[in-house]
């Protein structure tokens, strides 16, 4: 409680806002001013008048906040909180794909580095990817870096021709059909709600696929009393808080992202007290990446 009060004092003193992704640990979600998925937090950071943004998430998320708000101080409490999916693709990979498919629109998932965003036409998140791709005038689409989300979008937008990069989320890719079938056998009355970063066969076998916020909305609106959840375990905190009379079970206990779990109350406090760790983006790259992000926000 003492640490929580000190974080609140420092936040007020610095005119800061604390944002946290749905996959953060429970106590970090509870201290945050805003909790949500990547799309929601992107909008919050772009619109916030706070001088300092403490981003409880992973590096690409904090980079996105800095891209949109270069005059603000953006702090990533854990400097080593990265994303294997974002690290799976380089700017050179994007340039190669563009050379192989001239005239194609290049859509990058927000789970990508600032350098990769700078090479792409428009950004998307899991909650708006289908809408973003449908809005493009080009028939051919290069989708990077998540092949699972790309496959999900391609199934929803058959009128487009897709080239997918072979990246994936190592956490969501862990879910197997054996695990899904075993969970269904235990709870046959429970709808299965998964993230589209799961493999296509898992998505096809589920009752609902969507971003973390969309999964929360689906479970909240549903009349079902129990649910099988196929996304990172951090989402259970809000699901249970918003739906105290319902039961939620993970498809597998392996749905845990170690990078998302690095941030603690101690590191949030250190970020505010010691200005750690400031996220900086090279200006020429930032300007190109900003176009990519702003096209998404304005689409």
Listing from the earlier edge strand, what are the strands of the sheet with 161-164?
122-124, 105-109, 140-144, 161-164
Domain at 2-81+260-280, CATH class:
alpha beta
Q: Which fold has domain 85-168?
A: Rossmann fold (3.40.50)
**Which positions of the chain have pLDDT values less than 70?**
1
Q: Are both 85-168 and 172-250 of the same fold?
A: yes
Rounded Cα–Cα distance for residues 240 and 220 (Å) = 10
pLDDT for the residue numbered 80: 96
Q: CA torsion angle for 200, 206, 210, 213 (degrees, to 10)?
A: -140
Predicted TM-score of the model (pTM): 0.94
The contacts found for 92-96 with CB under 8 angstroms, 24 or more apart, are: 93/144, 93/165, 94/119, 94/120, 94/142, 94/144, 95/119
CATH of segment(s) 172-250: 3.40.50.10800
Q: Where are the domains of the chain?
A: 2-81+260-280, 85-168, 172-250
């Amino acid at each position: 409680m003492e640490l929580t009060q000190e974080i609140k004092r420092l936040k007020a003193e610095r005119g800061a806002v604390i944002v946290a992704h749905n996959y953060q640990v429970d106590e970090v979600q509870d201290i945050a001013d805003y909790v949500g998925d990547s799309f929601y937090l992107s909008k919050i950071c772009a619109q916030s008048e706070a001088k300092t943004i403490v981003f409880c998430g992973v590096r690409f998320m904090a980079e996105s906040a800095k891209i949109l708000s270069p005059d603000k101080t953006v702090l990533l409490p854990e400097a080593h909180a990265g994303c294997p999916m974002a690290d799976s693709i380089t700017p050179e990979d994007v340039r190669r794909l563009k050379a192989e498919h001239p005239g194609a629109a290049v859509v990058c998932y927000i789970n990508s580095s600032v350098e990769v965003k700078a090479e792409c036409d428009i950004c998307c998140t899991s909650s708006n990817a289908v809408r973003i791709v449908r809005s493009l005038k080009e028939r051919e689409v290069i989708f990077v870096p998540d092949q699972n989300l790309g496959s999900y979008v391609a199934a929803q937008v058959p009128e487009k021709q897709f080239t997918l990069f072979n990246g994936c989320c190592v956490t969501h890719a862990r879910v197997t059909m054996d695990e899904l079938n075993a969970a269904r056998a235990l709870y046959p009355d429970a709808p299965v709600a998964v993230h589209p970063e799961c493999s296509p066969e898992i998505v096809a076998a589920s009752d609902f696929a969507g971003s973390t916020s969309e999964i929360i909305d689906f479970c909240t609106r549903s009349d079902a009393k129990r649910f099988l959840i196929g996304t990172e375990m951090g989402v259970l905190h809000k699901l249970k808080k918003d739906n105290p009379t319902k039961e939620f079970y993970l498809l597998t206990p392996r749905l845990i992202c170690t990078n998302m779990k690095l941030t603690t109350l101690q590191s949030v406090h250190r970020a505010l007290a010691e200005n750690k760790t400031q996220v900086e983006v090279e200006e020429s790259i930032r300007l190109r990446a900003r176009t990519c992000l702003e096209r998404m926000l304005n689409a």
